[in-house]
Amino acid sequence: MKKVVINKKDLQNNLQIARNELTGKDDNGNKVKLIAVVKGNGMGLDIVEYSKFLVKNGIDCLAVATVDEAMALVEDGRKKPILILGVSFYDQFEA
């Protein structure tokens, strides 16, 4: 099995560079936000721990593939907005 190695210092630096570039406003005058896609369990990284690291380092919003991935983040206490990229069906949500 292949292994993904993330150098946290390099990722922190890259996030800071991206954050510094996002100084403008959107068409509605809101601050531009930085979103991180963590679908598919963050490339084999623990999606919850990886998301915590990203949020701690300036990510404004998280994107996932499925409702289950979103729920894992919500259940861990994520307060940032979560965008579900995949198809969601009504029966996947509790009434």
Rg (the chain; Cα; Å)? 15
Q: How far apart are CA 27 and CA 24, in angstroms?
A: 10
Distance CA 68, CA 84 (A): 10
pTM: 0.80
Q: What is the distance between the alpha carbons of residues 68 and 53, in angstroms, rounded to a whole number?
A: 20
- For 48-87, write each residue's pLDDT tens digit: 989 999 999 999 999 999 888 999 999 988 889 999 998 8
Distance CA 46, CA 40 (A): 10
If you average pLDDT over residues 10-31, what whole number do you get?
90
pLDDT at 26: 85
pLDDT value of position 93: 64
